[in-house]
Structures are given as structure tokens and as C-alpha cells.
């Protein structure tokens, strides 16, 4: 988006502050403008509860596929009901045409912001993030929902410590039903290139294992400060590396990464879905057996600070 269009979008976004959506949500302030939506802090006028209200970006309001994706986020996240999934409370249409969704209002920073600020996480922190991601994704997979776009910007860290309940998965906009075909010939492959699995790149069916691969990429980046298949080139080069190259060794972490954790990450990054762990629950059990996740396992400190 050029500067003129960006400025116009911001002016339009700010102009909504003070208005009431659907007769019950008073928009109090602007929280942010993203690729698909504009997020406000709002107050439910009847309950007095502060929430985050997301309205589809004006440039997508008349686009059928974008509206469907936006509403898909509300349906998918709203049906899972797990502490590691951002809670969707309501959805509807502004003026009967422009979709919005209402989420719990959370304070924190994304994993991407944390990695940028700190250069990566400590081992125990990264292990806790992976465990919480697996708990949330496991709940989604139990309902046959595959996220398909897990990445550090879609992981919110809430509160002062990275511990149980501090990790929230965001944006189920391109989530799919497990084993549903990813695309048809000529379709655009959906996802973020650096975090896509080989089967996504090929346009094959997605399964729960697709999310496990992305979780491996996220954990690799959380430990090292960089994703494993970033060659510095364009999307095509990234796709080639995902399909062809083995993941590089985990080096450059803030502290020594235990061999069993490194091996788990490498298993998540296996090219073939059948070579990855069998389920999100399997990853949780493997992590717990290592005894490196805060508060889980023998002799492990429960206080992992930011």
C-alpha cells in the first residue's frame, strides 16, 4: 500500500473511534492496523467489558474470498475453546455489510516482537512456548481444524512470564478442515512462505502434521533468532529450500540447546509428514519427559521470566 492509501486508511480507522458497532460495542481507541483488519479497543455497553474488536480492512470489504477468510477466523477460533487460543466472543456485521469479530482483550507482545527485541528466547522459554502451542493446536486438531499459518507474529505472549497460560495463538483466517485439499490447479497457495510445510508448498492436503512442521520452524526461530529456511532470497528460493534442503543445525542460540530438544525440533521439521511426531500430544509428552519445561518434570524451576 502506498503512503496516500495508507494515510487514507488510518484517517478512516481513526474516524470510527467513538462510534458504536452493532448497537453494543463502543469503539474507544485504535489498537492497530493489520493486513486483513483494523483492531480497536471497545467497550460492551451492556456488560461494561473491554474487548478487542476487529473490523475487516476497507480494501477487502467487498472481496468475497477475503470476507470468507475473515469470518472463517471467527468460526474456527470460536469453536476450539482452549486457553492457548485467543477467545472469540462475538461476530457480526457493521451496518449489515462489513464483518467484524470480537475477541478477548489481551496485553502483551507477539513472539516476533520478543525475538526481535531479545534475539531469541532461552531454552526453557522456547520449550514452554512450544508446549503451549502444542496444547492449543492439539485442541484445534481434535476438532479437525488445521491452523495453516502458525508463525511468530501469530503467537501472543501475555503477562510478565512465559508460563502456562501465557501463550495465545492468533489468526485462524486461513485454517482448514484436516485433509481438505489445500488448492486446485491455478489457486494461490495460502500461507506465509518461511513457515509453510513441504505439503503446503506442493498444494497437497493439509493435516495436523502441517501445523507441527510450522511449530518446528517457530521453535527453531525462537531459539536462534532466525527461521531455518531463510536464504535471503525470494519466495521461490524459500520454497526450494523447504522442499530440498535439510534444516540447518541449531546454532547461535542464547544458551546451549539440549540434544534431545534439538532432536525434537529436527523431527518436527521432517520433510514427510509421516516422519514427524504423530500428534501435538506426542510432542507435549516428549517435552515433559525431558524435564526442561518450567514447572514440568523433576527439579525444574517454575519461574521463567521474560
Mean pLDDT of the chain: 85
| Confidence at 298, pLDDT banded by 50, 70, 90 | very low
Query: Residue 253: which residues within 8 A CB-CB, separation 6 or more?
Result: 120, 123, 223, 224
For residue 91, pLDDT over 60 is answered with yes
Place of cell 530440498: 244
Pairing of strands 98-104, 108-110: unpaired
**How much is the pLDDT for 5?**
58
For residue 46, pLDDT over 50 is answered with yes
| Cα–Cα distance measured from residue 268 to residue 245, given in angstroms and rounded to the nearest whole number | 14
Residue extent(s) of CATH 3.30.200.20 domains in the chain:
9-104
Active site residues: 149
Place of cell 521470566: 305
pLDDT tens digits for 231-280? Answer: 777 889 999 999 999 999 998 888 899 999 999 999 999 999 999 999 99
| Cα–Cα distance measured from residue 138 to residue 97, given in angstroms and rounded to the nearest whole number | 34
pLDDT tens digits for 95-147? Answer: 777 889 999 998 889 999 999 998 999 999 999 999 999 999 999 999 888 98
More confident site: 295 or 139:
139
**How much is the pLDDT for 78?**
78
What is the CATH code for 9-104?
A: 3.30.200.20
**How much is the pLDDT for 93?**
87
More confident site: 164 or 180:
164
Percentage of the residues of the chain whose pLDDT score is greater than 70: 89
| Confidence at 88, pLDDT banded by 50, 70, 90 | confident
**How much is the pLDDT for 297?**
58
Instruction: Kindly state the average pLDDT of the residues 60-79.
Output: 77
Residue extent(s) of CATH 1.10.510.10 domains in the chain:
108-290
pTM of the predicted protein model: 0.84
| Confidence at 185, pLDDT banded by 50, 70, 90 | very low
Q: State the alpha helices, DSSP H only, in 120-207.
A: 123-142, 198-202
| Confidence at 300, pLDDT banded by 50, 70, 90 | very low
Instruction: Kindly state the average pLDDT of the residues 53-70.
Output: 79
Which DSSP category does 274 fall into?
A: G
Which DSSP category does 305 fall into?
A: B
Nearest-10 Cα torsion for 235, 240, 242, 243: 140
| Cα–Cα distance measured from residue 217 to residue 268, given in angstroms and rounded to the nearest whole number | 8
Residue closest to 72 by CA, chosen among 111, 37, 27: 37
For residue 194, pLDDT over 50 is answered with yes
More confident site: 222 or 94:
222
CATH 1.10.3720.10 is held by the domain 108-290: no
Strand ranges in 10-117 using DSSP code E only, listed in sequence order: 20-21, 25-33, 37-44, 50-56, 88-94, 98-104, 108-110
Beta bridge partners of 100: 55, 92
| Confidence at 208, pLDDT banded by 50, 70, 90 | very high
| Cα–Cα distance measured from residue 241 to residue 247, given in angstroms and rounded to the nearest whole number | 9
pLDDT tens digits for 113-124? Answer: 999 998 999 999
| Residue 99: count of CB within 10 angstroms of its CB | 21
For residue 188, pLDDT over 90 is answered with no
Amino acid at each position: 500500500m502506498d503512503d496516500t492509501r495508507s494515510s487514507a486508511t488510518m484517517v478512516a480507522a481513526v474516524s470510527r473511534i467513538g462510534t458504536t458497532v452493532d448497537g453494543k460495542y463502543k469503539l474507544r481507541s485504535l489498537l492497530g492496523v493489520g493486513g486483513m483488519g483494523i483492531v480497536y479497543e471497545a467497550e460492551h455497553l451492556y456488560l461494561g467489558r473491554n474487548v478487542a474488536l476487529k473490523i475487516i480492512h476497507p480494501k477487502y470489504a467487498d472481496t468475497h474470498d477475503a470476507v470468507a477468510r475473515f469470518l472463517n477466523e471467527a468460526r474456527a477460533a470460536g469453536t476450539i475453546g482452549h486457553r492457548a487460543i485467543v477467545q472469540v466472543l462475538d461476530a457480526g456485521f457493521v451496518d449489515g455489510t462489513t464483518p467484524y469479530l470480537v475477541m478477548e482483550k489481551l496485553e502483551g507482545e507477539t513472539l516476533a516482537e520478543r525475538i526481535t527485541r531479545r534475539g531469541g528466547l532461552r531454552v526453557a522459554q522456547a520449550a514452554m512456548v512450544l508446549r503451549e502451542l502444542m496444547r492449543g493446536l492439539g485442541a484445534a486438531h481434535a476438532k479437525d481444524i488445521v491452523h495453516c499459518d502458525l508463525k511468530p507474529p501469530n503467537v501472543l505472549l501475555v503477562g510478565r512470564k512465559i508460563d502456562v497460560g501465557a501463550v495465545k495463538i492468533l489468526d485462524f483466517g486461513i485454517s482448514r478442515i484436516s485433509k481438505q485439499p489445500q488448492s486446485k490447479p491455478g489457486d494461490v497457495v495460502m500461507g506465509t512462505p518461511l513457515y509453510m510445510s513441504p505439503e503446503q508448498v506442493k498444494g497437497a492436503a493439509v493435516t495436523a502434521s502441517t501445523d507441527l512442521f510450522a511449530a518446528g520452524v517457530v521453535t527453531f526461530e525462537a531459539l536462534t533468532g532466525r527461521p531455518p529456511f531463510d536464504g535471503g532470497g525470494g519466495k521461490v528460493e524459500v520454497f526450494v529450500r523447504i522442499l530440498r534442503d535439510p534444516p540447518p543445525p541449531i546454532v547461535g542460540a542464547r544458551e546451549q540447546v539440549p540434544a534431545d530438544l534439538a532432536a525434537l525440533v529436527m523431527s518436527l521439521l521432517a520433510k514427510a509428514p509421516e516422519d514427524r511426531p504423530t500428534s501435538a500430544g506426542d510432542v507435549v509428552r516428549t517435552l515433559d519427559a525431558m524435564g526442561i519445561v518450567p514447572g514440568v518434570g523433576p527439579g525444574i524451576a517454575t519461574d521463567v521470566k521474560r
